[in-house]
Structure 1
Amino acid sequence: MIQILVFLPLIAFLIAGIGNRMIGNVAAKSVTTGALFISCALSWVTFIGLINGAPAQDVLVAQWFTSGDLAVNWSLKVDILTGVMLVVITSVSALVHLYSWGYMAEDPDQPRFFAYLSLFTFAMLMLVTADNLVQMFFGWEGVGLASYLLIGFWYKKPSAWAAAIKAFVVNRVGDFGFMLGIFGLFMLFGTVDLDTILSAVPTAKGATFTFLGHSVDAITCLALLLFVGACGKSAQVPLHTWLPDAMEGPTPVSALIHAATMVTAGVFLVCRMSPLFDASVTASTVVTYVGALTAIFAATVATTQHDIKRVIAYSTCSQLGFMFFAAGTGAYGAAMFHLFTHAFFKALLFLCAGSVIHAMHHEQDMRYYGGLRKVIPWTFAAMVIGTIAITGVNYTSGYFSKDAVLFAAWERGTEASRVAFSVGIFASLLTSFYSWRLIFKTFFGKPRWSQSEHIQHAVHDAHGHDDHHDHVHADHGHDDHHHADQADGTAGYHPHESPWPMMVPLALLSFGALFAGAIFNDMFVGHHGFWNGSLVHDGEFYAALHHVPGLVHWSPTLAMLTGLTIAFLVYIRNPQAADAFKKQFRHLHAFLSNKWYFDEIYNWLFVKPALWLGNIFWKRGDQGLIDRFGPDGLSGLVGSGSGIAHRFQSGLVYSYALVMLAGVALFATWFMVR
């Protein structure tokens, strides 16, 4: 069963990718979507079986390769940690496949799109089922490739392929650290097998080796190298810059890759290697501080963004920070719990954003929304559910998982964990603020549609002024909108609800966003042996979370209500307050809206020097030296010589006689001198 659920997406990718337009849109979509729903069903069967006591197992697929002492098999590891990830990946992917039936309905390259989705899902499944680090790295690079293809799916759009390249390059930095970590683990333990390495960690405590000319603690160094890889894949500071730009891909891609699955690979890696991280106080402290910094950084930036997808993207970045500082404080179960619930409500928010963009004819700027709750009420209801979940309204999924993360940070009692708790509370307040800001600007107030160029083009096209309009626009392929009268002040445009393939996933994800936390709370962060040794889990520690001080217990709820209140006052009661704040604190606003100037710093520190150095090698080295004295110089010499020789080949007898006489004279002179 595990082999079927893992390899079905690969088979679907091959059928849709190779068949492409020969098999047609419907066949390609049916094959890939059907395969994913089968994999999803088998994943839930596997997960429920593991919950009910089914033993963990390794399923050998094939022997991969042997090189000296390095022997690597192709094997599928199935334990409860894998089961959680299987459910998350296949559930979200199956719903995204279904959602894409409506969202990509007019795109001419649907088979390619669905093939890429299935390829990504297969790579992610390979990553989480790997029983050794080399196989994990195969899946790790596979999701990197698939994300590159999906982010740059509209390759004719410059911003899309630029974002794809950026994601690919930034992730290569993290992957280099991951590779060094794998090399070091093999050097220290003599194997890349996960179970062997993790069981031998206690015996390696205190071991040292030389790294970059210094003697370092082996466990700490290797854990930090692995964490560099996790930072790249899970968009942690300072390797986070690719994630917001990745929103250039189609919205279903954002929901699949950058909300629920690929970006959680780093969290999964840290939890899978939890015995290694737990053995190093230094590494755990670094993970805690980096997670806390990312949580507050992304939350502050999200408060100033206007693109609806970028707000949710920075929200993803912030929530991943919560997961990492939970893991850094040793609460690996809480980190996985927040990963699990976050998959439902964040995928829901992204798909709701896609439904809004669909209704608004590709417009993504919230400044041109307003009043949409009356015309797309089902999307509005689903997005409110996602919002109350992410902000942690009592008894929703986010309430259970985020509180577990924060309480664990407090209960650990170290300096780093208490800093993470304080930062997490403030980030929770900001999360509530920017999430409700999105709701209020999008669904409340007066319609501001007439100010949008996208809407103006839509109305213009609807009145027959542009019969050759390209339906494949910047974000998706829809042009099936109804239009109202000009008198309503909305540019003659009337948004409408999305088709049923887009609404069904919203309903299912809404259920998960509301109830997944309550259903699985006792399992993920309970005192019993749910994890069954798949990660480091201290049942007594989690039992203590029920007895935190009263102020600590209520602080997440107070932060949530404070953020909601501020958003309500600023964007409903007094809409001019936001502009007044920008004018009064323009430097702070500029700092946040420019994302703490990370892109500008990287451009100055890395991009410009690289371009300068590249131009030197290109202009002076390649063209000025190698080409000049190499192929260009030799070809020029031959050309000049042939030009001179050509002058003597005139075809005139007296010219040839003159040359012969000159030759005889030179020969006679040489002979006489000698």
Structure 2
Amino acid sequence: MMVLILAVVLIPLLGATINGLFCWFTKRKAHLIAVPAIAIPAICSLVLLGKVLHGEHFDQVLYWWIPLGDLRVPIGFLLDELSAVMITTVSFVATWIHVYSIGYMDHETPRGYAKYFCYLNLFVFFMLTLCLANNFLLMFVGWEGVGLCSYLLIGYWYEKASAANAGMKAFIVNRIGDFGFMVGLFLIYKHLGTLLFSQAFAQAEHLSVGMATLITLLLFTGATGKSAQIPLYVWLPDAMEGPTPVSSLIHAATMVTAGVYMVARTHAFFNMAPLSMEVVASIGVATALMAATMALVNNDLKRILAYSTVSQLGYMVVGVGGGVYAAGIFHLFTHAFFKGLMFLTAGSVMHALHGELNLQKMGGLIRKMPITGWTFVVGALAIAGIPPLAGFWSKDEILAGAFMGGHKIIWAVGTFTAFLTAFYMFRLIFLTFFGEPRERHLYEHAHESPPVMTIPLIVLAVGSALAGLLALAPHGGIAGFLNRTLGEAHGAVHHEGSVVYVLMAVSVAMGVAGVALAYFMYMRRVPDPVALAANFRPIYTLLYNKYYVDEIYFALIVNPVVGGSRHVLWKFVDVVIIDGAVNGTGRLCRLVGSGLRYLQTGYIPDYAWMILVGAVVIYWIGRLF
């Protein structure tokens, strides 16, 4: 088992190293290194998942990295039900994203092509490290690593100012959350004296409720950054500036799922802090609703998908915050398939339309791109929660858990958000793939993508359709499997069959209603969306401008910080104090040297007087001291 785990972690790193160091050699053949470097770990992950299904676990420290007094930092790995599901999901979806990238990035320069695959392999390496770590510090290394790789890949086309700025924004916003995560780790070590998961979780009950609450809120601060929750979600929509396969990897398999995984992994602490769980669930449902409303009026294909990711992450956070951890991870699992699929289909559309993203310039594309169009429909049905596709099973598990746990308001808001989700996703579909073309020249030049891009779409579409059926597997399905590790929070309530069926019916009805409303508005123009937007102009403007959150952040945080840095730290501290001290020292030496120069007269009597005066001064100094 050790060999398989090391293969899962180290082979992607090896692929990144080869393409990074030898990009001048691999060039256009970089994918021959990069794709197997992810496909082999995917196969190993499936083997490891099979071993865990049969009850085998692994938790071992390989060596002590920093033995420093009482502080001993381990390097070790943990394989249990949670990490097995995570690494299988990450590696499988990432494999098909790598395959898709061969066609999508074909226009890149040879060295740029190798650099891209180097970053992609490195991204997966850090995510797998995060998922398999058996201690907080190694998890934090993976956590920071995916943050670094997101910066490199979002800003991959750094010649574009918007891409460079988006990469910087993602990096800085995540640093805010990471600070909270890091302080939480300090408190864990201070109060429990260990960074190993097994030891820390075994001692969790020794924490006071107040300290457990503080630690979990700090940990969740980190999760709000990585998993794009209020108030740190603002980086994710701008992350669309990177190559579309990167968007797919970030949104489906890596980065954004890290926060949800971290909360689930530290469930022993959250179970001790009911207030924190209320905060987590409340922020999750608020994020889900807010992001869904912003997607309603957006016309950018990729940004709509980005807002849908933020919204779906909100559902996952509701799951882990509501104590139904397995449901939250189950939704993470199904979401990886249909969100990875939809981003790749968006890339296929961009590939056909020469980078165009505006829905208002599309229409009728399913006739030109049937594989892309119909696979997107499968993904949209899954995210809309239409049975029997994947999203139906996992999302309804979360909503049922919220209802049965007494969170009726969260259930109601989550169910309404499901209606909005179905509406905006099928608004996107009807504007993009159906109806008549609105830009004839774009439509005439549209074409289906090559097989290297469409085969991953078909594979992920099958996953989007069937992955949810794991809920029906024996022994409680995937939820029962995950509950071996995660269990449920103390306040979680077991589902009653009749109530669950009613909740499922309501959820499905809301999804169908959303699809129907989108059909009538954008295919039949009843009611006319343009007239509707005009009648509700203030609300439309508010949603179109994303609640002005970016503007508020710039006014209250960014501009004051930049202004303070410019006028205080730069112009005063740097220029006046630091530069003044350095330059002033030079000027003082020059001034003293200039004065002493006049004493060098060349006359012996002058030097004799100086010796005499110096001797007298030294004498009196000796008398004084």
TM-score of the superposed pair, with normalisation by structure 2: 0.91
Q: 1:3 aligns with which of 3, 6, 10?
A: 6
Cα deviations across residues 74-100 of structure 1 (Å, max 9, x unaligned)?
111000100000111101111111000
Q: Where in structure 2 are the equivalents of 1:401-550 lying within 5 Å?
A: 401-413=394-406, 417-449=407-439, 489-490=440-441, 493-522=444-473, 526=477, 529-531=480-482, 533-537=484-488, 544-548=495-499
Question: Partners in 2 of 1:533 and 1:491 — Cα distance?
Answer: 53
Tell me the SS of whatever aligns to 1:294: helix
Shift of 1:21: 2.1
1:262 aligns with 2:262: no
Matched residue count: 599
Measured after TM superposition, the shift of residue 67 of structure 1 is: 1.9
The 1:57/1:579 distance shift into structure 2, 3 A limit, reads: same
> Judging changes above 3 Å, is the alpha-carbon distance between structure 1 residues 545 and 182 closer, same or farther for their aligned structure 2 residues?
farther
Between the aligned residues of both structures, percent identity stands at 40
C-alpha contact (below 8 Å) 2:400/2:495 kept by paired residues: no
Note closer, same or farther for the CA distance 1:81–1:635 as it changes in structure 2 (3 Å cut). same
C-alpha distance after superposition, 1:618-672 (max 9, x if no partner): 2233324543x434456667889999999x9xxxxxxxxxx99xxx9xx9xxxxx
Q: Structure 2 CA distance, aligned partners of 1:540 and 1:599?
A: 37
CA contact (8 A) 2:147 2:171 kept: yes
Residue in 2 aligned with 1:319?
312
Q: Deviations over 1:454-499 (max 9, x none)?
A: xxxxxxxxxxxxxxxxxxxxxxxxxxxxxxxxxxx42684211111
Cα drift, residue 445 of structure 1: 2.0
Deviation for aligned residue 1:139: 0.5
Match of residue 193, structure 2, among 183, 190, 194: 190
> Which residue of structure 2 lines up, in the alignment, with residue 294 of structure 1?
287
The residue that corresponds to 1:577 in the other structure is: 528
Question: Per-residue displacement from partner, 1:131-152 (whole Å, max 9, x unpaired)?
Answer: 0101100100011111111111
Which one of the candidate residues 26, 31, 34 is aligned to 1:32? 34
Q: Which amino acid aligns with 1:261?
A: T
Q: Give 1:619's aligned amino acid.
A: K
Letter in 1 for 2:348: S
Q: Given the two structures, how large is their TM-score scaled by the length of structure 1?
A: 0.84
Aligned to 2:49, which of 43, 47, 50? 47
**Alignment-mate amino acid for residue 562 of structure 2:** L
**CA contact under 8 A between 2:405 and 2:493: conserved in structure 1?**
no
Instruction: Give the 3-state SS of the residue equivalent to 2:481 in structure 1.
Output: coil
- 1:153 and 1:524 map into 2 onto residues whose CA distance is 45
RMSD of aligned C-alpha atoms? 2.6
Equivalent-residue separation in structure 2 for 1:29 and 1:265 (angstroms):
26
Query: C-alpha displacement at 1:58, in angstroms?
Result: 1.6
Asked whether 1:15 is paired with 2:18, we answer: yes
Are 1:139 and 2:142 matched, yes or no?
yes
After superposition, where does 1:618-633 map in structure 2 within 5 Å?
618-627=570-579, 629-633=580-584
Shift of 1:525: 5.7
Question: Do 1:166 and 1:242's aligned partners in 2 also have CA atoms closer than 8 Å?
Answer: yes
Matched-pair contact (CA < 8 Å) for 1:337–1:525 = no
Q: Deviations over 1:393-436 (max 9, x none)?
A: 111101111111111111111xxx21210110111010001000
Structure 2 Cα separation of the partners of residues 114 and 338 of structure 1: 28
Partner of 1:244: 237
Aligned to 2:62: 61
Contact 2:400 2:503 in 1 (8 A): yes
Q: Which runs of 5+ in 2 are unaligned?
A: 610-625
What whole-Å deviation, never above 9, does each CA across 1:194-213 have from its counterpart, x for those lacking one?
0111122223344xxxxxxx
Q: Provide the C-alpha distance between the structure 2 equivalents of 1:616 and 1:523, rounded to a whole number of angstroms.
A: 65
Pair 1:117–1:549, CA change in 2 (3 A): closer
Give the Cα–Cα distance (whole angstroms) in 2 for the partners of residues 499 and 527 of structure 1. 35
Q: Does 1:148 align with 2:151?
A: yes
Residues 104, 110 of structure 1: 8 Å contact kept: yes
Correspondence for 2:618: none
Tell me which residue corresponds to 1:127. 130
Distance (whole Å) between structure 1 residues aligned to residue 596 and residue 33 of structure 2: 69
> How far 1:37 moved relative to its partner?
0.7
Distance 1:257 1:521, change over 3 A: farther
> Which residue does 1:81 correspond to in 2?
82
Which residue in the other structure is 1:329 paired with? 322
Instruction: Give the residue type in structure 2 aligned to 1:431.
Output: T
| Alpha-carbon displacement from aligned partner over 1:336-375 (angstroms, at most 9, x marks no partner) | 1101000000000000000011011111111111110110
**Aligned equivalent of 2:345, options 345, 352, 372:** 352
Contact kept? 2:220, 2:280, Cα under 8 Å: yes
Decide whether the 8 Å contact of 1:380 with 1:443 is kept in 2: yes
Provide Cα deviations, 1:271-311, integer angstroms capped at 9, x if missing partner: 11112111211011001100011000100001111110000
Q: Counterpart of 1:261 in 2: which secondary structure?
A: coil
Q: Which amino acid aligns with 2:55?
A: A
Q: Which deviates further from its counterpart, 333-342 or 56-65?
A: 56-65
Is the Cα contact below 8 Å between 1:337 and 1:524 reproduced in 2? Answer: no
Alpha-carbon offset, residue 45 of structure 1: 1.4
Tell whether the 8 Å contact from 2:404 to 2:494 is kept in structure 1 after alignment: no
